[in-house]
């Protein structure tokens, strides 16, 4: 009958500038798609060079090597007899564009440049690419000679056009175009385009997956159609984790779904759908509007059909219910996959973590344990790539892990760094957790190093600083805490460099950090202490979410030692103990609770609030707990802390991006790091408002 089509989309773990590896993964995905009967294969955004090339996009080498890979794809017998849709950067009239290249049987059908750019949050596409602003305009693109030699074409269509096969019409969207209020699929659908494709490089954020799925469903609910969504997956060399979720939808229903988190480098999703279902849907809902589109899409015709004449016995995919991970599952899976990509691609032999026995470092430890669980499961599922990479990491060509705990002992080292201010409770909690996850654990006492450094200071100055508890000033107290914290960083790197050498193994260890997003927001950590690591899997996660994550780990991973860690008050243990017990707590030091910080962080970043706007919102949000005067004190205290410590964000450890209010200074949250910390004008506005409220209380 010629009405059913089998289409393929995919999630690929591409790596910026890894042209050889990227080519291999693209070819494998096309091969899998064809084996499932697909006549059209869609890949992620900029899959040839990798999305995260950043300023390497300026280099002519990146364009050159992308075309070299495209030539390999055109020449490969694997790509024959199916329409291949790949992403790469292309320069047209000396302007650089983010493009889709559609080709079939060694002929390029069209090149479609991105029209609406992602230029917010972590995205900076306007820095490297220009949008194609010419609606419905198509120009000639002169192909490089290396491509002409294969295709026999001098020029190909370049611009805002769609592809007409013998049986349907296909139109492209790219990533942010789906999220834009002027999404191209709307106009394309009204002009009769039946299949929409979206190649993305969309990164993970907690609680974000449902937005993506709802947008895809909405795109085909409004005017019918088939929607293919492809995405990158993994860490391609930056702070973000691209989280897959390849999918196929028709008329508002998801009919095929890929994994959000996985260690598979290549995942292909195929679906067989009926074109007549789209036509029937539109016939009832959209027919009066279909002819009102003033500018029809320019169609590039191809003598090729996606369907076969004899498809009566070919079953179609039926609607499915999407399973969304809980935030606790997301924390368990996303950072774990990111860590594995970083480890295997860095060439190092494992991780080292200063394990304090608190919530933050325990969360990092549990994420590494989750990574080991995923690795063992992947090997059990015959993932040969994971086993090959793991053997290279451990330096043993015959190694095969027995279980996650045994694997943990090979690639994960934890150390408790005690001082005279440390309690037995935290030492015991750290040791118990290490035993349960299986890490190689060490107890290290740092007092000798701390006293040596203070001895040098005393020899030069003739003075010996004292803690506040022993009569010292605030400056002395803070300096003594910082010395302990910084000694721990130095020792962490020493043991990371020589830890495997001690065990007669090759390589070094990556140092893991464990400062959460709320502490980064206020600067509640020592610059160049244990927060200064190689990477930090929890730096974009709130304390509140981390506590929920540990509750999940108690049951899911059978780690009962976490109960004691959750029950204990958060503390840095940098000041003297009182009767052997901790007298210093984080929330007392910060002057606000972690839950309050989470609210303030979201108002600062998501709601774009300065001090005055934040005060105006919080007097309503916290009216049952705090008076306007108390809210004003909290807001002022936060902004003083934030502005005094913002400079720390310029050197903070690269962290997994997970939270929409992250203060990461690298790309996501661009702010000054030298502030007028008195905020005189802003605080005066708050004080004036408090006075007005006191003199004119609300009527009951």
Distance CA 186, CA 590 (A): 50
- Return the exposure string of 369-378: e unless at least 16 CB atoms fall within 10 Å of the residue's CB, then b: bbbbbbbbeb
Using CA atoms, how far residue 499 sits from 359, 393, 434, 484, 493, in Å, is 25, 15, 17, 21, 9
Distance CA 66, CA 256 (A): 30
| Phi, then psi, of 199 in degrees rounded to 5 | -100, 120
Instruction: Specify whether 114 is catalytic.
Output: yes
Return all residues near 514 (Cβ < 8 A) that are at least 6 apart: 353, 354, 356, 360, 361, 363, 364, 530, 531, 533, 536, 538
Longest CA–CA separation in the chain, Å: 95
Instruction: Specify whether 45 is catalytic.
Output: yes
Q: Determine whether 534 is exposed, middle or buried from the number of CB atoms within 10 Å of its CB (0-12, 13-18, 19+).
A: buried
For residue 134, the SS3 value is coil
Catalytic site residue from 84, 161, 175, 366: 175
Of all helices (H) and strands (E), which one includes residue 300?
strand 298-301
**Residue of 8, 326, 208 lying closest to 658 (CA atoms):** 208
Return all residues near 270 (Cβ < 8 A) that are at least 6 apart: 6, 7, 8, 9, 33, 36, 37, 38, 248, 256
* Other residues' Cβ atoms within 10 Å of the Cβ of residue 323: 8
Q: Determine whether 381 is exposed, middle or buried from the number of CB atoms within 10 Å of its CB (0-12, 13-18, 19+).
A: exposed
Catalytic site residue from 11, 183, 223, 356: 356
Instruction: Specify whether 547 is catalytic.
Output: no
Return all residues near 190 (Cβ < 8 A) that are at least 6 apart: 223, 286, 289, 290, 292, 293
- In sequence order, what DSSP letters do the residues of 606-638 get, joined into one string? TS---HHHHHHHHHHHTTTT--HHHHHHHHHHH
**With the C-alpha atoms ordered 351, 330, 645, 477, is the resulting torsion angle positive or negative?**
negative
For tokens 């290490």, the residue is 434
Instruction: Specify whether 370 is catalytic.
Output: no
Looking at the DSSP assignment, which residues form a beta bridge with residue 101? Answer: 86, 111
Q: What length does the chain have?
A: 700
Name the token pair of 594. 């972690």
Contact (Cβ atoms closer than 8 angstroms) between residue 249 and residue 213: no
Return all residues near 653 (Cβ < 8 A) that are at least 6 apart: 513, 515, 531, 532, 533, 534, 535, 536, 539
For the CA atoms of 560, 563, 566, 567, the dihedral, rounded to the nearest 10 degrees, stands at -160
Catalytic site residue from 29, 39, 45, 330: 45
Catalytic site residue from 114, 527, 543, 634: 114
Which residues are designated catalytic? 45, 114, 175, 356
């Amino acid at each position: 009958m010629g009405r059913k089509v089998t289409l393929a989309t995919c999630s690929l773990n591409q790596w910026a500038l890894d042209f050889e590896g990227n080519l291999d993964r693209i070819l494998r995905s096309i091969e899998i798609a064809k084996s499932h009967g697909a006549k059209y294969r869609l890949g992620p955004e900029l899959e040839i060079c990798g999305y995260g090339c950043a300023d390497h996009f300026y280099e002519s080498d990146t364009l050159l090597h992308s075309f070299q890979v495209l030539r390999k794809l055109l020449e490969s017998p694997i790509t024959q007899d199916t329409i291949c849709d790949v992403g790469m950067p292309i320069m047209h009239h000396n302007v650089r564009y983010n493009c889709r290249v559609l080709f079939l049987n060694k002929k390029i059908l069209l090149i479609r440049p991105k029209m609406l750019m992602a230029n917010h949050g972590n995205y900076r596409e306007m820095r490297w690419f220009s949008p194609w602003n010419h609606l419905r305009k198509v120009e000639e693109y002169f192909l490089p000679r290396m491509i002409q030699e294969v295709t026999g074409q001098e020029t190909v269509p370049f611009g805002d056009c769609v592809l007409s096969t013998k049986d349907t019409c296909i139109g492209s969207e790219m990533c942010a175009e789906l999220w834009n209020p002027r999404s191209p699929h709307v106009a394309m659908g009204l002009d009769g385009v039946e299949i929409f494709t979206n190649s993305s490089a969309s990164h993970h954020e907690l609680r974000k997956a449902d937005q993506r799925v709802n947008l895809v469903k909405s795109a085909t609910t409004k005017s019918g159609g088939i929607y293919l969504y492809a995405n990158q997956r993994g860490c391609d060399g930056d702070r973000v984790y691209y989280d897959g979720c390849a999918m196929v939808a028709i008329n508002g229903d998801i009919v095929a779904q890929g994994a959000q988190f996985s260690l598979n480098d290549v995942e292909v999703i195929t679906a067989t759908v009926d074109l007549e279902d789209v036509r029937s849907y539109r016939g009832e809902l959209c027919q009066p509007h279909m002819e009102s589109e003033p500018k029809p899409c320019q169609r590039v015709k191809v003598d090729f059909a996606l369907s076969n004449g004899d498809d009566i016995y070919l079953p179609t995919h039926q609607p499915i219910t999407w399973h969304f991970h809980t935030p606790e599952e997301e924390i368990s899976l996303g950072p774990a996959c990111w860590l594995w990509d970083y480890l295997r691609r860095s060439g190092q032999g494992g991780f080292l973590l200063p394990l304090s026995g608190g919530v933050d470092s325990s969360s990092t430890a549990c994420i590494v344990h989750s990574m080991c669980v995923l690795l063992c499961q992947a090997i059990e599922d015959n993932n040969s790539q994971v086993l090959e990479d793991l053997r290279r990491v451990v330096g043993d060509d015959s190694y095969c892990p027995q279980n996650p705990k045994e694997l943990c002992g090979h690639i994960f080292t934890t150390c408790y760094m005690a001082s005279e201010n440390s309690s037995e409770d935290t030492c015991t909690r750290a040791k118990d957790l290490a035993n349960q996850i299986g890490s190689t654990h060490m107890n290290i006492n740092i007092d000798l190093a701390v006293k040596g450094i203070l001895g040098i200071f005393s020899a030069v100055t003739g003075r010996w600083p004292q803690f506040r508890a022993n009569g010292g000033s605030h400056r002395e107290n803070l300096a003594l805490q910082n010395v302990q914290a910084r000694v721990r960083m130095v020792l962490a790197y020493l043991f990371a460099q020589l830890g495997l050498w001690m065990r007669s193994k090759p390589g070094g260890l990556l140092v893991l950090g464990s400062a959460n997003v709320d502490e980064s927001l206020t600067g509640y950590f020592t610059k160049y202490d244990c927060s200064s690591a190689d990477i930090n899997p929890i730096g974009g996660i709130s304390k509140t979410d981390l506590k929920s994550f540990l509750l999940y780990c108690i049951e899911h991973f059978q780690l009962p030692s976490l109960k004691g860690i959750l029950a204990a008050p958060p503390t840095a243990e940098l000041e003297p103990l009182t009767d052997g017990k901790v007298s210093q707590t984080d929330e007392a030091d910060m002057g606000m609770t972690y839950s309050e910080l989470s609210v303030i962080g979201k108002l600062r970043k998501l709601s774009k609030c300065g001090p005055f706007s934040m005060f105006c919102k919080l007097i309503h949000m916290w009216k049952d707990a705090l008076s306007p005067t108390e809210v004003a004190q909290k807001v002022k205290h936060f902004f003083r802390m934030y502005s005094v410590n913002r400079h720390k964000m310029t050197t903070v450890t690269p962290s997994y991006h997970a939270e929409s209010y992250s203060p990461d200074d690298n790309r996501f949250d661009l702010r000054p790091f030298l502030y007028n910390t008195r905020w005189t004008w802003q605080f005066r506005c708050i004080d004036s408002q408090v006075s007005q409220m006191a003199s004119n209380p609300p009527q009951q």
